Structure 1
Amino acid sequence: MSATIRRAIAGLGVVALATTAVACASPSASSPSASTAPSSSAPAAPVNLTVVGLLPGATPEAQKNLANQVKLFEEANPNITVTTKEYEWKATTFAADLAGGTLPDVFEIPFTDAKTLIANGQISDMNDMLGEFPFGGAFNPNVLQYGQGPDGHAYAIPAKSVYGIGLHYNRELFTKAGLDPNKPPTTWDEVRSYAKQIADKTKAAGYVQMTQSNTGGWQLTVATYARGGQMETIGADGKATATLDNAATKAALQFLKDVRWTDNAAGSNFNLDWGTINQAFAAGQIGMYTSGQDVYTSLVQANAIKPDIYGLAMIPLEGANSGILGGGTMAAVKSGASDDVRRAAAKWISHWYLSRYTSEKAALAFNQQAFDDKQPVGTPELPMFSDANLEQYRAWIKPLINVPLDHMTAFTSQIGSAKILNEPPVATQDVYAALDPVVQAVFTDKNADIDALLAAANKTAQRAIDKAQR
């Protein structure tokens, strides 16, 4: 796996990796205390720090782990009191939450949102706090740059591993449908054929995609990239132009239309976002869907999925320019935060998200309780600092890895040869929002006019892009 990761991350130098709601799944189940001892840079006065906790509905074991890590952190930092808040990032509510002041001091954002929040002065400059992070803040520069402002300062801090989108499939449904769970589909024609067979044999939805809260547009972009298309092009003047009505997007929508209306293989629930599609998949109601490679952790923590049913494969790639959409999550601090709050926030981000990469002791401490509580350890990821660091980390935790990696080899053995692509760089969430109704229409209207729907969505997206580029 490490060799494939090295090849995958090499591509990050020329593309920007980003994420959406899916990347904001629950934080890892535990975090070490070994590398969070008090230092001379401790807050000068007591700080009450509110931070992102777990997703709503997280398992008691995950909640126990989080509470324990808060306790360990507070013991190591006696003048910082941490209060966690359940949190799920959604494009449809984030702006209102931020404007209304209801977000915690430390919150999570997609890579794509960081630049806009920096430009709007909505998050704090954390550059003078980089020394609080592992390796003096020496993040993979191709990851850190998406949290940097025009002044070169770091505002948002990489918090969760960079990932690529994969095809998640239910091995149990494959078996019931007469399919080999060790041979997932490798072409979109096979995905369609498998979906129909699953639906015919098991009555579950063979294949379905997210449709709302901007996730419909996000996953349609995934399908477009997999077929060699783009949602935006950048001209010689550096300006972006919407290209939602490209041939690859039309093909992706026709695929969904065929699965839904010709094959009757998409089920009956077409109001799915990241959280609800995970829930349905874990409950055995969906045979296949696309999402980030790291979603297995949330499927266990929030949806109690049975490991035996889980499978992960590559998204089929077709065409010379095809690739996999990549993503990740950053941690940010509220604008106007005091020096003491920013310092406390830096210590918490380092403790909760990053300290596992610093030493064998910290890596084992990060994962031991999760392992003891049967929480996921060892879900595939890409380097946060360097490929060598990730290799070393995985070697440290090898005795504790408990995720079904043998069910993920169709992804991990091939990700290194795939091109990792950035999300649409300008007005990303607006582009996704414009596409949500298109995906919904294809699933709910047998006579949906794909060309007309995309033409209208393209105009909407272009207006948002033009506004963002003023």
Structure 2
Amino acid sequence: MKSSRTVAAGIAALAMVGALAACSSGGSDGDGKLELRVATFPPGADQAAYDAFAEQEKQFEQEHPDIDIIGVEYEWTAPTFAAQLAGGSLPDVFTVPFTDSKTLLENGQLMDLTKEIDELGYTDKFNPILLEEVTGSDGKVYGFPRQAYANGLQYNRDLFEQAGLDPDQPPTTWDEVREAAKTISEKTGKAGYATMTSNGTGGWQLSAQADSRGAQLQTANDDGTFTSTINNPATKATLQYLHDLRWEDNSMGANFDLDWGSINQEFAAGNIGMYTSGSDVYTALVRDYGMDSGKYGLTVIPLEDGGGVLGGGDIAVVAPTVDDDTKKAAVTWIDWYYMQKLMNQDAAVADAKALAASDQAVGTPVLPVLDQETYLESREWIKDYINVPLDQMTGFTEGIFDQSPVGEFKGQTQPIYALMDNVVQAVLTDRNADIDALLVQLDTDAQALLDQ
């Protein structure tokens, strides 16, 4: 799914940065350099982001004078990927959400990078849960997990204060979230709590809450098929919880057509007290939606009954059509641009310095791609450049390593999320919605997708 990310899949666009002529992968420029087309940002990213990229591009080309980096505006979308691949419009290096990686690698649509990842020494350093996301049934590894997040509880410190709540003591249980949401709504007239409901994000966040209550939404069978198990007590409890917030407490406002972008906009505008989303969404809230950073708060998502925290993210991959020289250059870029800042102090400082100089967020809490020791060490390296309000995020940063991460279910992820959207919307717009019947039908429809 999508966090700052990645992550609801989003509406796609592919456009060249600058006046790029169409060229095949691994082409050379007039100086004989290998041209490497790499994904940059989604269309609409601010100039500061591109200024930071330009500085990083300059640094890379100084170290690798035989490679000419060509930035390409890019946003992943599953429905148009095949056409982009067939038409040659994919960058040589791009990113794919975890939710779609399994399908692509099993379809042979990603480059095998097992040898390169092992030679660079990452195989034993990656978070094993994340490494599984890029490992095929053949045991080969098809990408670099480069960015991950865990769902957290985002909250508006200003609304907490207006409601007489202590923003330094955010809720730690779902019951406390409900109580705080009701208080915020009664005291401020704003939605105390909101949830995403559309474009697959409603299913994503229904999964996040159900997982936090111990759900298993899908099981993998020995023959490679999947069985839908969405109809379970934890999912039912989540839907009942949302029903009660909406109909008994009247604490969810009046807008029940929210996706990743629109809920961020409403939250940044001060119209929502709390919602769940990826821990890295701070960057988008401040950079893209104009939120006052002093009003932002983040804590861990409540867990109960043996539940875990739903995580996600994306992987850096190489187009399967590139030649050997381009593949080598692509791995060099991925290692330099995405990975070295996680393992090498000089690279970490250079990256943080470039981002900070361009007024980009440095230090946003994430789910570590590598092991905890390496992650904590890297934070020490860049502490002088961290510019996010970590003192407003301590509930998350101090609690996340005590939570068990849970990956998104693998079979037909995005289509099933869309089915789950409909159930969330039904519960929030129909006081008398039959949750049991909705879940029976949801499981039936999800299984039909899995059986295709």
Query: Does the pair score TM above 0.5?
Result: yes
Judge which range, 51-60 or 224-233, deviates more.
51-60
1:428 aligns with 2:413: yes
> What are the superposed Cα offsets for residues 237-280 of structure 1, whole Å, 9 maximum, x if unpaired?
77532121212111211221222233332223322222222222
Indicate which of 200, 219, 235 corresponds to 1:233: 219
Indicate which of 289, 298, 307 corresponds to 2:293: 307
Cα distance in 1 between the residues matched to 2:190 and 2:82: 36
Q: Calculate the TM-score normalised by the size of structure 2.
A: 0.87
Alignment partner of 2:409: what SS?
Answer: coil
Q: Which residue of 2 aligns with 1:77?
A: 64
Q: Which residue of 2 aligns with 1:400?
A: 385
Instruction: For residue 96 of structure 1, report the CA deviation from its aligned partner.
Output: 6.2
Cα distance in 2 between the residues matched to 1:94 and 1:285: 36
Cα distance in 1 between the residues matched to 2:341 and 2:47: 22
- In structure 2, give the amino acid aligned to 1:370: L
Instruction: For residue 23 of structure 1, report the CA deviation from its aligned partner.
Output: 6.0
Q: Which residue of 1 aligns with 2:397?
A: 412
Judge which range, 450-459 or 145-154, deviates more.
145-154
Q: Which residue of 2 aligns with 1:203?
A: 189
Q: Which residue of 1 aligns with 2:13?
A: none
> What are the superposed Cα offsets for residues 359-397 of structure 1, whole Å, 9 maximum, x if unpaired?
322111010122233322222234323322222211111
Judge which range, 212-221 or 378-387, deviates more.
378-387
Percent sequence identity over matched residues?
48
Q: CA contact under 8 A between 2:4 and 2:283: conserved in structure 1?
A: no
Cα distance in 1 between the residues matched to 2:122 and 2:278: 29
Q: CA contact under 8 A between 1:138 and 1:385: conserved in structure 2?
A: no
- In structure 1, give the amino acid aligned to 2:438: L
Q: Which residue of 2 aligns with 1:291?
A: 277
- In structure 1, give the amino acid aligned to 2:67: I
1:156 aligns with 2:160: no
Alignment of 1:169-248 (within 5 A): 169-234=155-220, 239-248=225-234
Alignment of 1:100-119 (within 5 A): 102-119=89-106
Cα distance in 2 between the residues matched to 1:382 and 1:406: 18
Q: CA contact under 8 A between 2:38 and 2:70: conserved in structure 1?
A: yes
- In structure 1, give the amino acid aligned to 2:99: T
Q: CA contact under 8 A between 2:182 and 2:251: conserved in structure 1?
A: yes
Q: CA contact under 8 A between 2:55 and 2:354: conserved in structure 1?
A: no
The size of the alignment, in residue pairs, is 430
Instruction: For residue 98 of structure 1, report the CA deviation from its aligned partner.
Output: 5.4
Change (3 A) 1:101 1:276: farther
Q: Which residue of 2 aligns with 1:250?
A: 236
> What are the superposed Cα offsets for residues 408-431 of structure 1, whole Å, 9 maximum, x if unpaired?
111222222222222223332232
Change (3 A) 1:398 1:173: same
- In structure 2, give the amino acid aligned to 1:276: S
1:22 aligns with 2:9: no
Instruction: For residue 132 of structure 1, report the CA deviation from its aligned partner.
Output: 7.6
Cα distance in 2 between the residues matched to 1:444 and 1:351: 49
Cα distance in 1 between the residues matched to 2:81 and 2:171: 36
Higher relative contact order (CA 8 A, sep 6+): 1
Please state which structure has a larger fraction of its residues in helix. Answer: 1
> What are the superposed Cα offsets for residues 310-342 of structure 1, whole Å, 9 maximum, x if unpaired?
1111212221x2121122311122222222222
Cα distance in 2 between the residues matched to 1:351 and 1:444: 49
Alignment partner of 1:179: what SS?
Answer: coil
- In structure 1, give the amino acid aligned to 2:3: V
* RMSD (Å) for aligned C-alpha atoms: 2.6
Q: CA contact under 8 A between 1:163 and 1:381: conserved in structure 2?
A: yes
Indicate which of 28, 34, 37 corresponds to 1:47: 34
Change (3 A) 1:117 1:404: same
Indicate which of 255, 259, 272 corresponds to 1:273: 259
Unaligned runs of 5+ in 1: 1-19, 27-41
Change (3 A) 1:176 1:103: farther
Unaligned runs of 5+ in 2: 8-25
Cα distance in 2 between the residues matched to 1:330 and 1:452: 37
Indicate which of 368, 380, 398 corresponds to 1:383: 368
Q: Which residue of 2 aligns with 1:357?
A: 342
- In structure 2, give the amino acid aligned to 1:353: Y
Change (3 A) 1:95 1:348: same
Q: Which residue of 1 aligns with 2:116?
A: 129
Q: Which residue of 2 aligns with 1:340?
A: 325
> What are the superposed Cα offsets for residues 19-74 of structure 1, whole Å, 9 maximum, x if unpaired?
x2226249xxxxxxxxxxxxxxx999643333222244333322211122223323
> What are the superposed Cα offsets for residues 67-90 of structure 1, whole Å, 9 maximum, x if unpaired?
222233233333433333334445
Alignment partner of 1:205: what SS?
Answer: coil
Instruction: For residue 113 of structure 1, report the CA deviation from its aligned partner.
Output: 2.0
Change (3 A) 1:96 1:437: farther
Alignment partner of 1:147: what SS?
Answer: coil
Q: CA contact under 8 A between 2:153 and 2:277: conserved in structure 1?
A: yes
Cα distance in 2 between the residues matched to 1:377 and 1:196: 34
Indicate which of 113, 133, 137 corresponds to 1:146: 133
Q: Which residue of 2 aligns with 1:33?
A: none
Change (3 A) 1:358 1:223: closer
Alignment partner of 2:133: what SS?
Answer: helix
Cα distance in 2 between the residues matched to 1:156 and 1:315: 29
Change (3 A) 1:250 1:102: farther
Cα distance in 1 between the residues matched to 2:236 and 2:80: 29
Q: CA contact under 8 A between 1:278 and 1:303: conserved in structure 2?
A: yes
Cα distance in 2 between the residues matched to 1:119 and 1:167: 34
Instruction: For residue 99 of structure 1, report the CA deviation from its aligned partner.
Output: 6.2
Instruction: For residue 452 of structure 1, report the CA deviation from its aligned partner.
Output: 2.0
> What are the superposed Cα offsets for residues 295-314 of structure 1, whole Å, 9 maximum, x if unpaired?
22222332232221111112
Alignment partner of 1:49: what SS?
Answer: strand
Cα distance in 1 between the residues matched to 2:93 and 2:331: 9
Q: Which residue of 2 aligns with 1:13?
A: none
Cα distance in 1 between the residues matched to 2:204 and 2:383: 34
Cα distance in 2 between the residues matched to 1:310 and 1:119: 40
